[in-house]
Amino acid sequence: MSSADKALILEGYVMKDKEPTIIGDASAIYPGKGWTTGVAVPGTMTRYNYNGSVVQYELVPKAVLQRARAYNGTLADRFGGGIPADAADEQGNPQELADAAYMRALSVDGGGAMARLSIPKISVNIAVYHTTLDDVLSEGVGHIYGTALPVGDPHTYTVLAAHSGGVQGMLFTRLSEMRQGDVFYLDVLGGEQGYRITDVRTITPERMERTLQQIRDAHQSGDATVTMVTCTPIGVNTDRLLVTGVRAPVPQSIPAASTQRDGTLIAVGVGVAVFALALAAAIVVRRRAKRRHGTRTR
């Protein structure tokens, strides 16, 4: 194998007939915009196939994880112990997009996907991407810049965010149903990580940065910790719901999260659809009434 071939492998590619080919494939549906008020639909993420060349397929995850761990080791120096609530420069440009080390670390499919999140209790099974920019949250769950990449190592703290509510997709709409003791899972490069929920709280947006730091500091000496964040109440979005889990053993058979088509999803979807139709009907009636009123007064 040439040095050029090895370089491609270390970047997350394998050689096929001397042409670089990204391992696996990815697809997504793209609605919605704006993570404080919008909603998104889950995409599907690369599913790695490790049945090919042992050398090629085993080098990739090791190299990608090694780079992610190296990046996590720089967080204290990069952010001074803080978790930026708004990672923008003086011109308002997102700093994370200019951070090549961040954007490349744990980018397992070449398109920014780093993991897959499964929450069986609420039928969530969606991709996790770098950043929480609008276009990212229109596809799935975003990783909050300044927190650890989800490699599952002890003493690491990861924060994930997604939309709630709306007709375009569920995502974290049912996150409020989660309770202490419930579990969720992250699939990173084919390795399953289990997390058991230890804390559920609602805060105001201005307390976000400080609260995330407090949760991180409380778990610094323990196992990997992940917090999931979304807006609440649905449709109002004045507060933030934080659901935190700590690394836990993975069962031999992980419960499958449905494709978000269970009874609760149907009920919520029907309710949202009925509300939308009622609102549209009210607008039409009001406009017709205005037209009639205008005709009579001429």
pLDDT in tens, 267-284: 555 565 666 677 777 777
Residues 40-67: tens digit of each pLDDT: 333 333 333 323 333 444 556 788 899 9
Name 149's Cβ contacts closer than 8 Å, sequence gap at least 6: 68, 71, 72, 105, 106, 114, 143, 158
Banded model confidence at residue 74, pLDDT cuts 50, 70, 90 = very high
> What's the pLDDT score for residue 27?
27
Instruction: State the Cα–Cα distance between residues 275 and 135, nearest whole angstrom.
Output: 26
Banded model confidence at residue 157, pLDDT cuts 50, 70, 90 = very high
Q: Identify the residue with better confidence: 233 or 47.
A: 233
> What's the pLDDT score for residue 281?
75
Among the listed residues 147, 145, 157, 173, the one whose alpha carbon sits nearest the alpha carbon of residue 231: 173
Report the chain's mean pLDDT, rounded to a whole number. Answer: 75
Residue 9 has pLDDT above 80, yes or no: no
> What's the pLDDT score for residue 102?
93
Name 153's Cβ contacts closer than 8 Å, sequence gap at least 6: 69, 72, 224
> What's the pLDDT score for residue 274?
67
**Phi and psi, residue 82, nearest 5°:** -95, 170
Instruction: State the Cα–Cα distance between residues 190 and 66, nearest whole angstrom.
Output: 15
For residue 154, whether the previous peptide bond is cis, meaning omega lies within 30 degrees of 0, is no
Q: Which whole number is the average pLDDT over 135-139?
A: 85
- Judged by average pLDDT, the poorest of 13-17, 101-105, 258-262 is 13-17
Residue 28 has pLDDT above 80, yes or no: no
Instruction: State the Cα–Cα distance between residues 177 and 70, nearest whole angstrom.
Output: 35
Strand, helix or coil for residue 172: coil
Among the listed residues 212, 36, 208, 231, the one whose alpha carbon sits nearest the alpha carbon of residue 134: 36
> What's the pLDDT score for residue 139?
79
Structure tokens at 156: 């690491």
> What's the pLDDT score for residue 19?
34
Residues 176-232: tens digit of each pLDDT: 999 999 999 999 988 999 999 999 999 999 999 999 999 999 998 899 999 999 999
Cβ contact 241:163 at 8 Å: no
Q: Which whole number is the average pLDDT over 106-130?
A: 89
Instruction: State the Cα–Cα distance between residues 251 and 253, nearest whole angstrom.
Output: 5
Instruction: State the Cα–Cα distance between residues 163 and 173, nearest whole angstrom.
Output: 7
β-pairing, 157-161 with 225-232? Answer: parallel
Q: Which whole number is the average pLDDT over 18-46?
A: 31
Structure tokens at 102: 């961040």
The full 3-state SS of 66-77, as one line of letters, equals HHHHHHHCCHHH
Q: Which whole number is the average pLDDT over 22-33?
A: 28
> What's the pLDDT score for residue 85?
64
Q: Which whole number is the average pLDDT over 123-143?
A: 91
Cβ contact 227:211 at 8 Å: no
Residue 71 has pLDDT above 50, yes or no: yes
Among the listed residues 202, 176, 137, 197, the one whose alpha carbon sits nearest the alpha carbon of residue 268: 176
Catalytic residues: 163, 231
> What's the pLDDT score for residue 239?
96
Rg (Cα) of the chain, in Å, rounded?
Answer: 22
